[in-house]
Amino acid sequence: MRTLAILVAMMLGSTCAAGAVDLKLGHFAADGHPCDVAAKQFKDNVEKRTAGAVKINLFGNNALGSPPEVLEQVLLGAVDMSLSGQDQIAKHLPFYDVISTPFAFKDYATADKVIDGPFKAWADPELAKKNLVHLSDWEWGFRQLTNSKQPVNTPADMKGMKIRTPPAFAYQAFVEAAGGNAVTIAFAELVMAMKQGVVDGQENPIGTIYALKLYETQKYMTIVNYTYSSMVHLVNKKSWDKLTPEQQQILAEESANSAKLARKLLRDDEDKQLADLQATKGMVVAKPDLKPWKDAMGPAWEKVKARVGADNFARFMAMVDAAK
């Protein structure tokens, strides 16, 4: 009986080894960023709960290429999973640009309600048409302005400034509506562009500004919370189908757990990082009245509406209104 038990165990072990699945996860968060920490939790928990039958190989900090390139690789099946920005997805599904409508979300609670609820229900079947499985939305945060020239309290103060944006339609629409000149620069080249003075400023969440040490070249920050951005956890459908239903359930649960962790870490860190940026990093931080900024956004809203379609724009804004 003992010999038989040993043989059965060996057979089971061989079956597990033969059926092991290795999955690549690519993302653009810097080392130590909340999403990098959450990705490591995702890896550890999936491997533990599947007893090593599913291995997660992490490639952060643009190790597999720029964010748009990584998403392209997931679409092609060369990479299994990504944490992709909403603006990157919008290149393939234009309606995704509605999320970045300037000043649509008043706070994190509203963004969570919309993105985790009715927007996910809307997006999931559209992503499925691209052979992508949408697990959850992690955190990137509300985006702020920085520059190297002068304090910016109103759109008039930004007039004529060259502001770096990613190749993201709605972000560029915001900069232009506020009177700046949007200059597209890849994320991997952002830090060097700031050091070389290629542009006057840029826009990103506080956590990204802090992690990339943009305070070394950007003296002034303006807290505008002009749009919310997240990292969307996507899986190539063929890669997803390699997993058993039980393994799929584990990945879905651990993705949701890591999304919660990323959000908590980022939000908990923001006040501390902002205080440190002012106290020890020398940044001058403005928290202006947002009414002039919102009043200037008419052209940006019209551009977003024209890009995504009036019906899609109205559908999204109804979600936002219901979540307030």
Total count of domains within the chain: 2
Return the SS3 of 318: helix
Residue 14 predicted with pLDDT over 80: no
Please name every residue paired with 205 in a beta bridge, in sequence order, or none if there are none: 143
Tell me whether residue 244 is in a domain: yes
Q: What is the mean pLDDT of residues 69-88?
A: 97
Query: Domain check: are 123 and 195 in the same one?
Result: no
Query: Domain check: are 298 and 223 in the same one?
Result: yes
Q: Residue 287: which CATH number?
A: 3.40.190.170
pLDDT value for 3: 37
Percent of the chain residues topping a pLDDT of 70: 94
Tens digit of each residue's pLDDT (9 = 90 or more) over 266-308: 999 999 999 999 999 999 999 999 999 999 999 999 999 999 9
Query: Domain check: are 222 and 293 in the same one?
Result: yes
Q: What is the mean pLDDT of residues 225-238?
A: 97
Q: What is the mean pLDDT of residues 174-188?
A: 96
Q: What SS3 string covers the chain? A: CHHHHHHHHHHHHHHHHHCCEEEEEECCCCCCCHHHHHHHHHHHHHHHHCCCCEEEEEECCCCCCCHHHHHHHHHHCCCCEEEEEHHHHHCCCHHHHHHHCCCCCCCHHHHHHHHHCHHHHHHHHHHHCCCEEEEEECCCEEEEEEECCCCCCCHHHHCCCEEEECCCHHHHHHHHHCCCEEEECCHHHHHHHHHHCCCCEEEEEHHHHHHCCHHHCCCEEECCCCCEECEEEEEEHHHHCCCCHHHHHHHHHHHHHHHHHHHHHHHHHHHHHHHHHHHCCCCEEECCCCHHHHHCCHHHHHHHHHHHCHHHHHHHHHHHHHHC
pLDDT value for 255: 98
Tell me whether residue 13 is in a domain: no
Tell me whether residue 5 is in a domain: no
Tens digit of each residue's pLDDT (9 = 90 or more) over 38-67: 999 999 999 999 999 999 999 999 999 999
Query: Domain check: are 172 and 283 in the same one?
Result: yes
Return the SS3 of 182: strand
Query: Domain check: are 42 and 92 in the same one?
Result: yes
Query: Domain check: are 171 and 295 in the same one?
Result: yes
pLDDT value for 16: 40
pLDDT value for 184: 96
Tell me whether residue 44 is in a domain: yes
Query: Domain check: are 80 and 202 in the same one?
Result: no
The whole domain housing 305 covers: 141-227+270-323
Query: Domain check: are 150 and 130 in the same one?
Result: no
Query: Domain check: are 152 and 32 in the same one?
Result: no
**Nearest CA-CA partner of 180 in 164, 195, 169, 197:** 164
Query: Domain check: are 61 and 193 in the same one?
Result: no
pLDDT value for 59: 98
Confidence label for 9 from pLDDT (cuts 50, 70 and 90) = very low
Tell me whether residue 196 is in a domain: yes
- 269-308 per-residue burial string, b: 16 or more CB within 10 A, e: under 16: bbeebbeebeeebebebbebeeeebeebbeebbebbbebb
pLDDT value for 237: 98
Query: Domain check: are 259 and 295 in the same one?
Result: no
Q: What is the mean pLDDT of residues 235-249?
A: 98
For 130, counting Cβ atoms within 10 Å of its Cβ (0-12 exposed, 13-18 middle, 19+ buried), the class is middle
Query: How does the average pLDDT of the chain come out, rounded?
Result: 93
Tell me whether residue 303 is in a domain: yes
